[in-house]
């Protein structure tokens, strides 16, 4: 599943490749890909044709392309979705779901189009009415730690009020977005905190350490084009990212901690796994931190 850095890589690719362009024809090859647009695929296509894309924005793992009429094209990549800018002459991908041509291709050396490709079709596209600034359906999603407007002090206060386990809070999209399972484990190792640490016991400096850890690992992923644990993930031009050499705990169960040598442990957590160093990140005990 693409995590936030991959989605940001896609956003940057779209910013370069489609902003300022006017949509020509829209072809919905699979209705499931636009299931969140309730009036259906034909309505989706007719309302997007002729609109000019003015920006490429992101909130958490949602992307949206504001349009010149104040609406927006909203996208979620789900488990396996890709937004690809391809030469019009390139053969269709097996799992091509939606195709957008552009009207400005006469000025370009090579005609290109935007393709939404999704093998498992958990992702999807929708038209967000009046959603150019922020689509209403995603307004409940918190900003992510890489967002320049993320408020560290407000996050720290809200986290401590939540009275839950630390990792559970990090995965709560209404508190902070974009910190998936991998980045949560990596941030917690860097901050030397156990995943079950009760949030109300955290000091501001510890919350800052978690944020710093998240930013370090997410920023490194961004520089390298995303983590690409899912072989299906590729960026806007179809290039795979790579990242795994900078991971400290995720995928390293049974290998030595690079800080203390203790073997990294993996435990079940919310239908997934948590990876941590039992020495650097001791399990919290009542009254003793
Ligand atoms: Zn350790």
First to last CA, the chain: 34
- In sequence order, the β-bridge partners of residue 250 are none
- pLDDT score, position 287: 59
- Cα 43 from Cα 60, distance rounded (Å): 27
Question: 238 or 255: which carries more pLDDT confidence?
Answer: 255
pLDDT digits (tens, 9 = 90+) for 81-110: 999 999 999 999 999 999 999 998 656 667
Q: Compute the average pLDDT of residues 200-224.
A: 91
Measure 248 CA to ligand 1 centroid, in angstroms: 10
- pLDDT score, position 247: 85
Measure 83 CA to ligand 1 centroid, in angstroms: 39
- pLDDT score, position 109: 66
- pLDDT score, position 6: 84
- pLDDT score, position 121: 80
Catalytic residue among 3, 6, 8, 186: 3
- pLDDT score, position 229: 40
- Cα 191 from Cα 5, distance rounded (Å): 20
- pLDDT score, position 94: 93
Confidence band for 73, pLDDT divided at 50, 70 and 90: very high
Q: Compute the average pLDDT of residues 244-257.
A: 86
Tokens 């789900």, located at residue: 78
Sign of the torsion angle spanned by Cα atoms 32, 37, 41, 46:
negative
239 and 225 Cβ atoms separated by less than 8 Å = yes
Measure 265 CA to ligand 1 centroid, in angstroms: 10
Kind and range of the H or E element at 27? strand 23-28
- Cα 1 from Cα 81, distance rounded (Å): 9
pTM (2 d.p.) = 0.79
Kindly report the average pLDDT of the chain as a whole number: 89
CB under 5 Å of ion ligand 1: residues: 257, 259-260, 262, 277, 279-280
As a whole-number percent, the residues of the chain with pLDDT over 70 amount to 89
pLDDT digits (tens, 9 = 90+) for 137-167: 999 999 999 998 999 999 999 999 998 999 9
Catalytic residue among 61, 99, 190, 252: 61
Q: Is 51 annotated as catalytic?
A: no
Predicted confidence (pLDDT) at residue 217 exceeds the cutoff of 50: yes
Give the range among 34-38, 168-172, 246-250 with minimum mean pLDDT.
246-250
Measure 192 CA to ligand 1 centroid, in angstroms: 8
Q: Compute the average pLDDT of residues 189-205.
A: 96
Q: Is 3 annotated as catalytic?
A: yes
- pLDDT score, position 231: 37
- Cα 84 from Cα 99, distance rounded (Å): 10
- pLDDT score, position 232: 37
- Cα 143 from Cα 158, distance rounded (Å): 13
Measure 202 CA to ligand 1 centroid, in angstroms: 20
Q: Is 272 annotated as catalytic?
A: yes
Measure 256 CA to ligand 1 centroid, in angstroms: 8
- pLDDT score, position 228: 44
Q: Compute the average pLDDT of residues 34-57.
A: 95
Pairing, β 72-76 against β 124-128: antiparallel
Sign of the torsion angle spanned by Cα atoms 85, 103, 20, 132:
negative
- Cα 153 from Cα 130, distance rounded (Å): 31
- Angle, vertex CA 236, rays to CA 230 and CA 239, nearest 5: 55
Q: Compute the average pLDDT of residues 237-264.
A: 79
Q: Is 143 annotated as catalytic?
A: no
Predicted confidence (pLDDT) at residue 60 exceeds the cutoff of 80: yes
């Amino acid at each position: 599943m693409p995590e936030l850095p991959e989605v940001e890589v896609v956003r940057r690719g779209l910013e370069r490749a489609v902003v300022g362009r006017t949509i020509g024809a829209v072809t919905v090859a699979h209705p499931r890909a636009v299931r969140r647009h309730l009036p259906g695929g034909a309505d989706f296509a007719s309302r997007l044709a002729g609109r000019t894309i003015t920006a490429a924005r992101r909130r958490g793992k949602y992307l949206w392309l504001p349009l010149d009429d104040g609406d927006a094209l909203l996208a979620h990549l789900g488990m396996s979705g890709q937004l690809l800018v391809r030469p019009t002459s390139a053969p269709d991908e097996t799992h091509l779901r939606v195709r957008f041509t552009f009207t400005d291709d006469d000025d370009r050396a090579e005609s290109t189009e935007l393709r939404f490709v999704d093998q498992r079709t958990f992702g999807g596209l929708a038209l967000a009415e009046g959603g150019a600034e922020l689509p209403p359906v995603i307004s409940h999603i918190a900003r992510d730690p890489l967002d320049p407007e993320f408020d560290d002090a407000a996050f720290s206060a809200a986290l401590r009020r939540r009275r839950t386990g630390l990792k559970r809070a990090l995965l709560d999209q209404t508190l902070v977005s974009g910190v998936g399972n991998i980045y949560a484990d990596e941030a917690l190792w860097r901050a030397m905190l156990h995943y079950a640490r009760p949030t109300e016991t955290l000091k501001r400096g510890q919350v800052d350490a978690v944020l710093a850890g998240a930013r370090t690992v997410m920023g490194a992923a961004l520089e390298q084009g995303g983590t690409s644990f899912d072989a299906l993930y590729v960026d806007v031009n179809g290039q795979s990212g790579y990242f795994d050499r900078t991971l400290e705990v995720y995928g390293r169960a049974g290998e030595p901690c690079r800080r203390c040598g203790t073997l990294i442990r993996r435990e079940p957590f919310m239908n997934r796994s948590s990876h941590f160093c039992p020495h650097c990140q001791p399990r919290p005990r009542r009254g003793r931190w």
